[in-house]
């Protein structure tokens, strides 16, 4: 288990490969997508691993809190819709990955506060 005070690399950072909204805009938009079982957005939960922009397409790699998460299809659909609603985006490619597996260590302080995890 990683100490929460230890700086961790930010896996959401990847190079900007072309035109379209930058990573910050995409991540802000993805905060509108909540895990319906937990009620916290997928960015603060630490489910979004990478965001890459290239010529109007956004590639996102994300995971779920559990490989058997029944809300997985809904979360991916909502993430795709939110990204494709952004100006300058022609297509969102949202890919589910299970490696590395998600753990609560990936959650932001906001998510921990919202869930009462101190």
pLDDT tens figures, 43-56: 999 999 999 998 89
| Average pLDDT estimate for 22-44 | 96
Residue 85 has a CB neighbour count (10 Å cut-off) of 11
The answer as to whether 14 is a domain residue is no
| Contact assessment for residue 96 and residue 65, using Cβ atoms and an 8 Å cutoff | no
The answer as to whether 96 is a domain residue is yes
pLDDT value at 107 more than 90: yes
Which residues have CB under 8 Å from 116's CB, separation 6+? none
Number of domains in the chain: 1
The answer as to whether 13 is a domain residue is no
Gap between the Cα atoms of 42 and 82, Å rounded = 12
The answer as to whether 66 is a domain residue is yes
Q: How confident is the model at residue 20 (pLDDT cuts 50, 70, 90)?
A: confident
Q: What is the pTM of this model?
A: 0.81
The answer as to whether 4 is a domain residue is no
The answer as to whether 7 is a domain residue is no
The answer as to whether 58 is a domain residue is yes
- CATH for 86: 3.30.300.130
- Write down the pLDDT at residue 19: 63
The answer as to whether 67 is a domain residue is yes
| Average pLDDT estimate for 33-44 | 96
Q: List the domain range (segments joined by +) for residue 103.
A: 23-112
């Amino acid at each position: 288990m990683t100490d929460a005070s230890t700086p961790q690399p930010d896996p959401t950072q990847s190079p900007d490969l072309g035109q379209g909204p930058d990573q910050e805009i995409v991540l802000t938009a993805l905060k509108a997508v909540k895990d319906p079982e937990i009620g916290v957005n997928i960015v603060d939960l630490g489910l979004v691993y990478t965001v890459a922009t290239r010529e109007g397409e956004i590639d996102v790699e994300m995971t779920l809190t559990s490989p058997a998460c029944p809300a997985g299809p809904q979360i991916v659909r909502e993430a795709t819709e939110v990204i494709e609603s952004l100006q300058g985006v022609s297509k969102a490619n949202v890919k589910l990955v299970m490696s590395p597996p998600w753990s609560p260590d990936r959650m932001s302080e906001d998510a921990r506060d919202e869930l009462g995890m101190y």
